[in-house]
Every structure is written in C-alpha cells, then in structure tokens.
Structure 1
Amino acid sequence: MTLTRRQWHRGAAALAAAWCLGPVTAHADETPDALVRRLSTEVLDAVRADKAVQGGDIGRVIALVDRMVMPHVNFRRMTAAAVGPGWRQATPEQQRRLQDEFKVLLVRTYAGALAQVSDQTIQVKPLRAAAGDQDVLVRTEIVGRGDPIQLDYRLEKTPGQGAGWKIYNLNVLGVWLVETYRGQFAPEINARGVDGLIEALSARNKNNAQRG
C-alpha cells in the first residue's frame, strides 16, 4: 500500500500518540482491548497537556517514552522482528545497540507529529479473540477532523513477573511498522552485516539530530 503525503502525516500523528501511552498500574485480568482503550485515552490527555511534547522537544519525548511506553511494549521482540534473520547472528552487545538506535529512530521520526494531536478521540472495535488466546489484534480508529485513521495493535500475553499484555507491532492505515522497517533494514544487512546496519542507524540518527 502506498500512502499519500497527507495520509502519512495523519498516520504519523496517530502512531506518535501510540508511542506515548500513559502510565498505568498493570491489571492482571485486564483484557487487551480494555488496556488499549484506557491507554489511548490517557495518551491523548497527556499530549494535550504537555506543550513541550507538542513542540517536538526530543529530550522530553524520549523521557516520556522511557517512562510511559516501554513498560507496555515488548521492544526486544519488535526490534528483532524488524532486523529479521540477522538478529539471531547478532551478539548481545549488537542487539543492545540495535534496540537503542531503533528506539531513537522511532522517537525522532514521530516526535514532530505529536504537535498534530488535538481533538481526536479513540474508538476501539470489538475484539475478535477467544478467552485463552495469547496473541491478539486490537483494532482502533482515531476519530477527529478528516477521515478516521486506522490504528491497530498486535499484543502478546506475557507470563511471570510483569505479566500482562505487551504491544509488539503497530499498523497505521494498513501499513505494519515492523514489516516496513524490515524492508528498509534488509538491504543494509545483506550488504554490510549487522554492524553495517548499526552504523547506518547511528548515522541516520545523528543526521536527524543535526537537522533538528
């Protein structure tokens, strides 16, 4: 699917909101759709109340992501899926660097779009899942000015300490985040290996930082 420029900007705003999910106390018995509904409402309220985030303050956005988002995201799985087969050949240090650079890339890519969050509301569609499912799709729409924005979440049920539902992929307007980046990363890995991808991500992040 090819997005128009207007669709991309509206989708980026929705995805940016998804990356700033509000802080919550985990509820072991909370269903995934209830979790998404509650988090989505809190993030919109939080973004509207934070002028620094709306202004694209990168330091503020990164702090927000670390504090609010990461407890609800299986970011290791997300990064591994985006890197593809090369992840299994990467050393623990390479995997750490990949996660760090990938997070910065995502935050910088969507920070500016936070300024577009204004009067949107969230509509969570009925969950199509059995009671015992451990991997589910939660479908939502961002409703505001213009056409509704499709924003879907893939979540998995995690056991043990910190058990609960974790997000590991996002779909904006029919485009899955992980698959999009895997398509960008694969040529770099094929040409220069995992270290080449790390260097490319680092250079891209530094360039973005210099450009503001």
Structure 2
Amino acid sequence: MNRFNRTVTGWVLCAGLLLAGSVFAGPEAVKGSASATIKQTSERMLAALERQRPALERNPSRIYGLVDQILVPHFDFERITRAAVGKQHWGKATPTQRRALIQGFQELLIRTYAKALLNYSGQKIRYLSEAPGRHSSVRVFTEVREPGADPVPVNYKVHKKGGVWKVFDVKIDSVSLVSNYRGSFNAEIRRNGIEGLISRIKEMNTKGKQ
C-alpha cells in the first residue's frame, strides 16, 4: 500500500468507521473516556450497517443518513474548519462566510467518509494509549493494521464540547488532516479570497454528488 492509500485509509477509519469486530488487543478503555467513545461509536456503526446492508446495496445514498446520525455528533466541524482555514483568514471572514465554510467542509468530509465506508474491507485497529493534550484536550493513539502492510499510526485529537467527546484533528502516518487541508485552503484564499474558497468547496461537493 503506497503512502497516499495508507493516508486515505487512515482518514476513513479515523471517523469512527472502525467496526467493533475490528478492534483488538489494547488497554481496557475507561468508561466515558475518549477511547471508549470511539469504540462505542464503532459498535453502533457496525450494527447499523448490518441491519441496513440490503437497503444500502439497493440505495447506497442511505449511508449518508447513517453517518449523519452516528458519526457527525462526534466531530467538532467548526473547530476543524477554523483550523483548516487558518486563524488569520478565519478572523477576516464574516459570520455568513464562516457558516458557509463550516457547512461546505462538513459536507465534503462526510461525503468522503461515507463513500469509503461502503467499501470497508476489514482493516483492524489497535488502541494503544491516551495522553493529555493542550487546553484540556486528549490524544488517543492507535494503529490500523491490514494484511500485507505495515501498521499505520492513526492518532486522534479530541476534546469535550457540550459534554461529548469530539474529534478536532487526526494525524495519519504523521500527516495531520487539518494541516493537509490548510495548505490547499490557504492557496485558494490567496488566489481568490474567502469567497473563492467557498465556491471551490461547493464545486467539490457538487462533483461528489454526480
């Protein structure tokens, strides 16, 4: 598996798409911890997939409803978008532009994860440890394993918002999800401004629907 595919696999799995049967050998998750939340989300996702597999085969677009119901509550899309756009550009964006960026980027990420979930092929994950991060956040260290390939480190950054653990960044094979998008977002803003980035994200979402 090349680096690109390894990274894409990690991004797919980081969303909580790791199915319950694929979790193995690791420290016991403390009830209410970030790791426990990710595992519980995975179990819900697996159960929903199994129940609706025939319906999904007939109508794959149903997967978006499952992702919206089960996974979205565990992502802080506002913080992810703010970090991907960058402090300087975010500070110059109007409230309307900020809402458009959050909604558009959320749709883009959900569409990416949902499509990949339909092609899930049994990768396994090992939960390694948790560690305190900055500003009351927590880092969850895991690795994804696939037959015939080296383990891919997938490390989450999570924090509590409204009493719920939410992912605000993921580092896969040393590549940060937020940092990866920040480069392309900043380049678009330099060329065409905030409105240009909003239009670009809309264009990507439109193509994704085709």
Alignment TM class, shorter chain as reference: 0.7 to 0.9
- Which residue pairs with 1:103 in the alignment? 106
- Which residue pairs with 2:206 in the alignment? 206
1:8 is displaced (CA, Å) by 4.3
- Which residue pairs with 1:70 in the alignment? 72
* TM-score normalised by structure 2 residue count: 0.77
Q: RMSD of the alignment, in Å? A: 3.1
Deviations, residues 72-102 of structure 1 (Å, cap 9, x unaligned): 2211111111111212221221111111111
SS in 2 for 1:125: strand
- CA 1:150/1:116 → structure 2, altered by over 3 Å: closer, same or farther? farther
- CA 1:5/1:31 → structure 2, altered by over 3 Å: closer, same or farther? closer
CA distance in 1, matches of 2:155, 2:59: 24
- Which residue pairs with 1:194 in the alignment? 194
- Which residue pairs with 1:163 in the alignment? 163
Matched to 1:78, the amino acid is I
- Which residue pairs with 1:152 in the alignment? 155
Matched to 1:156, the amino acid is H
CA distance in 2, matches of 1:178, 1:199: 19
- CA 1:204/1:20 → structure 2, altered by over 3 Å: closer, same or farther? farther
2:21 is the counterpart of 1:18: no
The share of aligned pairs that are identical, in percent, is 34
- CA 1:182/1:208 → structure 2, altered by over 3 Å: closer, same or farther? same
1:5 is displaced (CA, Å) by 4.5
Residue 94 of structure 2 is aligned with which of 91, 94, 97?
91
Q: Which runs of 5+ in 1 are unaligned?
A: 23-28
| Number of residue pairs the alignment of both structures matches | 196
- CA 1:95/1:55 → structure 2, altered by over 3 Å: closer, same or farther? farther
1:13 is displaced (CA, Å) by 4.0
1:11 is displaced (CA, Å) by 3.1
- Which residue pairs with 2:27 in the alignment? none
1:45 is displaced (CA, Å) by 4.5
CA contact (8 A) 1:81 1:178 kept: yes
- CA 1:9/1:95 → structure 2, altered by over 3 Å: closer, same or farther? closer
- Which residue pairs with 1:4 in the alignment? 3
Matched to 1:104, the amino acid is E
- CA 1:99/1:133 → structure 2, altered by over 3 Å: closer, same or farther? closer
- CA 1:146/1:107 → structure 2, altered by over 3 Å: closer, same or farther? farther
- Which residue pairs with 2:36 in the alignment? 34
- CA 1:6/1:19 → structure 2, altered by over 3 Å: closer, same or farther? closer
SS in 2 for 1:123: strand
SS in 2 for 1:101: helix
CA distance in 2, matches of 1:20, 1:56: 22
Matched to 1:171, the amino acid is K
CA contact (8 A) 1:13 1:117 kept: no
CA contact (8 A) 1:81 1:182 kept: yes
Q: Which runs of 5+ in 2 are unaligned?
A: 21-30
Greater CA deviation, 106-115 or 71-80?
106-115
1:184 is displaced (CA, Å) by 0.8
